Structure formats: C-alpha cells, structure tokens
C-alpha cells in the first residue's frame, strides 16, 4: 500500500523529466532553484504583474500629475535638468474630488445602485440556485446551461435588446396596452428602474453560479438532522441552509457588486441624465474633459472605496468561519 503511494508520488516528476522539451528548460530552472512548482506559480504572477499591477502603477502615477494641453495630456512627475531631479507630486486631483460634491454624490449613487442591484440579484438568484442545486442530475445540467446561455451573445447586444423591451413603444408597453391594462405607455427607459433591470439581468449569473456551487455541496443529512431534531422546513432553512451558504452569498454578492459599482455601459444606455454613476463620471473626465489626472484619481479612489471594505469583510469571514 505504502509502496504504491510512493510510486505514484514520484510519477509526475519522472514524466516531466521525460518530456523532451521540458528537460533542458527544467534543468536550467532547477539550477536557478526554480522547480516545476515555481513555474506553475510564475504564469499567473507574471499575468497579474503585466496586466494589473503595472497598469495600476501607471494610473496611480497619472493621478498624481498635473493636467496639461499636451500629448499625453499631463505633465511628467519627475524632471531631470542640469543634474537636478525634481519630483512634483500633485495631490490636487484628490483634493478636487473631495471638494466637488459631484464626485461624492456620484460615488454614493454608484454604491447605492450597486448595493440594491446586488440585493435584488441575491433575492432572485438564491431561489434559482437552490432549485438548480436540488434538481435531479440531468435536469441540473440543463438549468445550468440556461443560466450560462446569455453569455453566448454579446453583452452590448443584450443591453440594446432591453432598450427594445423597455422603451415607450417597446414590447412591455405594447403588451400592456393591447390587453388594456394601461392607456398610456409607462416611461421606463432612461430611469433608475431601467438601470436596475439592466444590472440585475446582466450580473444575475454571477450571483447564481457561486451560490449554486455552494448549495450543491450542502450535505442533505444536515437538513434531515435538523428535521429530526424538531425543525420545520423554514426553521431548517434559517438555521442550517442559510448560514452554511454564507460563503456563496458573499462570493456572489462581490461578483455582482464590484463590477456594478464601476458599470458604465448600462447606465449610459439605459439610464437617463439623472443617473450619475461613477463609471460615467470617469468616462466624461477622460474623454470629454480630457482631464486624465482627475479621471485617474477617480479610478484610484473607487478602487480604495471597493477594496478596503472587501478586505475587511474577507478577514472577518476567515476568522469567523474556519469550517469551510
């Protein structure tokens, strides 16, 4: 038994060694103290470095510079002249964000819309995820397919489709008027309502999938045990299913909330002039005002507004739930 286990442990190393192209590369890396394990970790590390950390540093740098009519439209952070290195950090962009109530209210509205959208997505997504997780095997795959199906068509196309559904002479108003429920069309386009519909619709799968992944693991004997100990089905849900699905709720909510805060396309297409979301403000600063430093400062501020509470929540969850 132990002999077999040892054999299988050694196998991967051997098989890597046998690959003709991997052998010289592996040998060179091994001399540098990098095994196959380091190689595997290196790929995502490099990816994050190139496509996340470096752009982040660039944006952070721009946010500390001064706007200028130039190309690119900001002044460099440091200058080297006559043997003197002069570094000028301009925090004015951040001070400007703090002083102008526009940004404050845009942040607030973004967080509000994203927060309520997340809540709606949770209320709609939880029962769906639960039902899929409890469905019999074959049916489960079909239902999961249906959840993922919208991704097969373009996101923009689907948002435009909502315009067709929600507009004054759109599908809903037509249907309601033809059955005589209303006499005049309801204005739905260019309202917050349309923005909510768009965001909840778009991000619902991101709520359902992590919830499903969590709920499908739920041990059904726990529900039986609760029932055996005297709990009705609602009490069982509140005391067993819900607390055990908190990691799924948390993951799904983050996946909906974070992109929803920075959402630009949906409020731009479905929302009205009153819908002031931070993504739209950022777009305006960047393209209309050509004020890259302020746009960058908005982006950095948004990042901190999002990342800090998420990190705190995650920490709280780690210290609280060692069970999962």
In the complex, least distance from residue 285 CB atom to another protein, rounded to whole angstroms: 46
Site for another protein in 244-273 (CB under 8 A): 244
Q: Does 72 interact with another protein (rule: CB under 8 A)?
A: no
> CA–CA separation, 192 vs 266, rounded Å?
10
CA distances from 26 to 7, 46, 233 (A): 21, 18, 57
From candidates 20, 24, 137, 322, binder to another protein by CB under 8 A: 322
The closest of 239, 252, 272, 168 to 208, measured between CA atoms, is: 252
Q: 82-89 — which CB contacts under 8 Å span 24+ positions? A: 89/64
Radius of gyration, alpha carbons of the chain: 26
The closest of 163, 192, 179, 164 to 263, measured between CA atoms, is: 192
Q: Does 219 interact with another protein (rule: CB under 8 A)?
A: yes
Q: Does 317 interact with another protein (rule: CB under 8 A)?
A: no
In the complex, least distance from residue 209 CB atom to another protein, rounded to whole angstroms: 22
3-state helix, strand, coil in the chain (%, to 5): 75, 5, 25
Taking the least distance from each CB to another protein, the nearer of 161 and 222 is 222
Taking the least distance from each CB to another protein, the nearer of 80 and 234 is 234
From candidates 7, 25, 161, 225, binder to another protein by CB under 8 A: 225
| Options 115-123, 207-215, 233-241, 290-298: segment touching another protein (CB under 8 A) | 233-241
> CA–CA separation, 91 vs 64, rounded Å?
6
From candidates 98, 222, 238, 307, binder to another protein by CB under 8 A: 222
User: Which residues of this protein are in contact with another protein, per CB under 8 A?
Assistant: 219, 221-222, 224-232, 235, 239-240, 243-244, 321-324
């Amino acid at each position: 038994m132990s002999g077999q286990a040892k054999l299988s442990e050694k196998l991967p190393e051997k098989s890597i060694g046998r690959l003709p192209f991997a052998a010289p590369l592996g040998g060179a890396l091994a001399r540098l103290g990098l095994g196959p394990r380091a190689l595997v970790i290196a790929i995502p590390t490099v990816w994050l470095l190139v496509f996340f950390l470096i752009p982040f540093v660039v944006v952070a740098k721009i946010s500390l510079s001064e706007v200028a009519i130039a190309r690119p439209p900001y002044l460099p952070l440091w200058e080297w002249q006559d043997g003197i290195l002069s570094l000028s950090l301009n925090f004015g962009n951040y001070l400007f964000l703090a002083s102008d109530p526009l940004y404050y209210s845009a942040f607030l509205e973004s967080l509000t819309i994203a927060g309520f959208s997340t809540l709606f997505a949770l209320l709609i997504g939880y029962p769906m995820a639960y039902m899929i997780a409890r469905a019999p095997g074959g049916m489960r795959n079909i239902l999961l397919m249906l959840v993922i199906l919208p991704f097969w068509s373009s996101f923009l196309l689907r948002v435009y489709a909502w315009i067709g559904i929600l507009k004054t002479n759109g599908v809903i108003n037509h249907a309601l008027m033809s059955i005589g429920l209303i006499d005049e069309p309801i204005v739905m386009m260019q309202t917050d309502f349309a923005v909510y519909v768009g965001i909840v619709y778009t991000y619902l799968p991101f709520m359902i999938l992590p919830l499903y992944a969590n709920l499908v693991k739920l041990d059904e004997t726990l529900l039986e045990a609760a029932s055996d100990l005297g709990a009705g089905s609602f009490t069982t849900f509140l005391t067993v299913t819900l607390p055990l699905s908190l990691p799924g709720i948390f993951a799904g909510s983050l996946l909906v909330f974070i992109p929803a805060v920075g959402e630009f396309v949906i409020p731009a297409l479905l929302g009205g002039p009153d819908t002031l979301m931070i993504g739209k403000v950022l777009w305006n600063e960047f393209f209309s005002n050509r004020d890259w430093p302020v746009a960058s400062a908005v982006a950095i501020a948004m990042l901190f507004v999002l990342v800090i509470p998420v990190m705190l929540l995650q920490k709280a969850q780690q210290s609280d739930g060692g069970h999962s």
